[in-house]
Amino acid sequence: MITDPSGNSSERGPINGSTTKIGVINTAPTVMLGSTNPNSNTDLNTVFTQSKRAVNNHLWYYFGWVRDTAGTGFIALEFEHNELSAACKTNVTADNCNPWANRQGGTGGNADFVIMWDQSGTSTDIIKRNFICSNGAAKCSNTLGTGALVTLAVCASPVSTDPADNCHRVLPADAAASFGLPPLRKQDLNDASRGEVAIDLTTQVFTSGTCQSFANIIPGTVTGNSDQADYKDVVLSKFPAVSNCGTVTITKNTSPERLAGEFKYSLTTDNLATIFGSTVDSDCSENTALENTDKKVCNGKLTTTAVAAPDTYNETDTISDLLEADTHWTLTEPTVDSKFALDSIDCTDSDGGTYHLYGSSATTVSAFKVIAGATTACVIVNKLVKTTPEAATAQTGFAQIKDAITLTKLTPDASDKGDARVTFALYSANTCIDPKPADNVLGNRVYISDPIALTYSNQNQTATATMLDANAKSIAPGITYYWRVTYTGDVFNNSFTTSCNSETGSVSFTFTP
């Protein structure tokens, strides 16, 4: 339901002029919309639209309306293949917008069209008129200001009833119209200010085996039954598109989420010779030679990543122009990344129908539904296959050791005794080889302390130095380590380095079960 300004309220609509008549309004240069105030009998204040499949799978379009008051004139409901222009997408009533600018003419399925009927209630005939190319081309569109290349087909007299004609009267089997509401009591009159119409698009518009869609729909009213009469009211809104083909989205999730992988899928149906109305959708990237491939299947590939952003770690393919075939569609995953197992496949159609195609969480069904002009959303979840690592156990232990040195018989009172230092080094072999990077010698030294100052006593004849707690060295059991200590000396005392075998250290552990 779309509400539209009514009564004395001004609203945006076509400015009356020679370029804003129904047949040529697509050529009108902007600014072509302005403030209008339609007469009450042509003022649409509420409209209702819906496209729906009948039990015989024919797609019907329903349109209902309410006017301020009853009156004469006709209602025109225009269907255009092309979307609104970029200017109109931003604001369908903006000064730089011409909602009719992308009108298309042509033959057969290329033609935009308008259905119209007498809103006074004196006739329930519904007329369908195609837009054609004035040069007879199979497809055309206008450039603003270049003239009416796209024109409205002229009706013969009497009006044809052949759907193949560019102007024809729709037979009652293919359309239904109701003008006014039935009276609740005999003394009441019909409310002729409102009515409804429905048309079978399958028989009147769509060509079997091809995809067609109408992205822009414009209801409007005109006073009089002439193509030269002015528009009185239009309802400018982004109405839902109408299509005889459906769309399927396929999203890949992993469990746990955000795991990288590559997954292939296969979308097909058991009810159609081909699943595409025209060319194969580019998302069917695994089909061989897309432009020449068999149209009975869509083979695609989805990739997941470990990216942290919530909307980027999985991937979705949108597969359009699928010939609607009711509940006959299947989705499978023929090959799976070896790190994963297929966990579930679930689809939800636009009517809220749910289909559990794979997985143990619920009863499965063999197929799901694609609805014309709508999207069925499918999600495939792959679960990580956990591995069982190989294990080998071994008991280990470590101990921390420190070292200390005591120097005796020092000649006391050296002027630089405060600068003397001791360095502790530990080696894993009794050769005590220091590394020599310049000579590419690794050596067997496993630890060396920072230079440590001495603490003097006994009138400075005795000095001691101990490794700091922070420098304690962890050693493994069963290995003998060798200490060497270097003293820098001072002006009264010589420097020295202890021998490699002068002090050793080792540790052993007993493990109790």
Per domain, the residue ranges of the chain are 2-243, 245-384, 399-505
pLDDT tier at 214 (50, 70, 90 boundaries)? very high
The pLDDT of residue 366 is: 93
Task: Report d(CA 214, CA 373) in Å as an integer.
Answer: 9
Q: Which of 268, 209, 214 is nearest to 238 (CA)?
A: 214
- Evaluate the CA torsion angle 143, 145, 146, 148 in order and state its sign: positive
Residue in this structure with the two tokens 């639209």, named with its chain if needed: 49
The pLDDT of residue 332 is: 94
- Measure Cα distances from 317 to 167, 268, 304, 314, 419 in Å: 40, 15, 12, 10, 75
Q: Matching CATH topology for 245-384 and 399-505?
A: yes
* Residue 266 CB coordination number (10 Å): 16
349 half-sphere exposure, CB direction, 13 A CA radius: 18
Task: Report d(CA 272, CA 305) in Å as an integer.
Answer: 35
Most confident of 201-205, 301-305, 332-336: 201-205
DSSP annotation of 382 reads: E
| Average pLDDT, integer, range 132-147 | 81
Determine phi and psi for 195, rounding to 5 degrees: -175, -175
Determine phi and psi for 322, rounding to 5 degrees: -90, 125
Strands of 212-339 (E only): list them: 213-214, 216-222, 231-234, 242-243, 245-255, 261-269, 297-304, 316-323, 326-332
pLDDT tens per residue across span 286-326: 887 555 566 788 999 998 887 765 555 678 999 988 987 77
% of the chain beyond a pLDDT of 70: 91
The pLDDT of residue 417 is: 92
395 touches 511 (CB < 8 A): yes
Identify the CATH assignment for 245-384 out of 3.40.47.10, 3.40.470.10, 3.30.56.10, 2.60.40.1140: 2.60.40.1140
CA–centroid distance for 297 within its chain: 22
pLDDT tens per residue across span 140-176: 987 655 667 899 999 888 989 998 899 999 998 999 8
Please provide the average confidence, as pLDDT, over all residues in the chain: 86
The pLDDT of residue 80 is: 95
- Measure Cα distances from 480 to 144, 211, 505 in Å: 95, 84, 6
Task: Report d(CA 411, CA 407) in Å as an integer.
Answer: 11
Q: Which of 82, 71, 98 is nearest to 15 (CA)?
A: 98
Contacts of 215 (CB under 8 A, 6+ apart): 80, 81, 82, 83, 84, 241
Is residue 18's pLDDT more than 70? yes
| Average pLDDT, integer, range 322-341 | 86
% of the chain beyond a pLDDT of 90: 43
247 touches 374 (CB < 8 A): yes
Residue in this structure with the two tokens 């009356």, named with its chain if needed: 16
The pLDDT of residue 170 is: 93
SS3 call for 201? helix
Query: Which residue(s) pair with 406 in the sheet?
Result: 464
pLDDT tier at 120 (50, 70, 90 boundaries)? low
pLDDT tens per residue across span 34-89: 998 888 888 889 999 998 888 887 889 999 998 888 777 788 899 999 999 888 98
pLDDT tens per residue across span 263-287: 999 999 887 778 887 778 888 888 8
Q: Which of 111-120, 248-257, 316-325 has the lowest mean pLDDT?
A: 111-120
pLDDT tens per residue across span 411-454: 999 999 999 999 999 999 999 999 998 888 889 999 999 999 99
The pLDDT of residue 165 is: 93
DSSP annotation of 276 reads: B
Task: Report d(CA 257, CA 242) in Å as an integer.
Answer: 36
14 touches 33 (CB < 8 A): yes
Query: Which residue(s) pair with 117 in the sheet?
Result: 75
Find the largest Cα–Cα distance for the chain.
136
SS3 call for 98? coil
pLDDT tier at 9 (50, 70, 90 boundaries)? confident
pLDDT tens per residue across span 169-195: 999 899 988 777 666 666 666 677 888
Q: Which of 398, 393, 392, 400 is nearest to 509 (CA)?
A: 398
Which amino acid appears at position 380 of this protein?
A: I
| Average pLDDT, integer, range 398-407 | 87
Determine phi and psi for 86, rounding to 5 degrees: -60, -40
Is residue 206's pLDDT more than 80? yes
Joined tokens for residue 160: 């044809």
Angle at 503 between CA 498 and CA 509, to 5 degrees: 155
* Residue 229 CB coordination number (10 Å): 16
Higher-pLDDT residue of 370, 508: 370
Task: Report d(CA 399, CA 195) in Å as an integer.
Answer: 94
Task: Report d(CA 466, CA 247) in Å as an integer.
Answer: 79
Q: Which of 63, 70, 71 is nearest to 46 (CA)?
A: 63
Identify the CATH assignment for 399-505 out of 2.60.40, 3.30.70, 2.40.50, 1.10.12: 2.60.40
Helix (H) or strand (E) segment spanning residue 90? helix 86-90
pTM exceeding the 0.85 threshold for the entire prediction: no
pLDDT tier at 400 (50, 70, 90 boundaries)? confident
pLDDT tier at 356 (50, 70, 90 boundaries)? very high
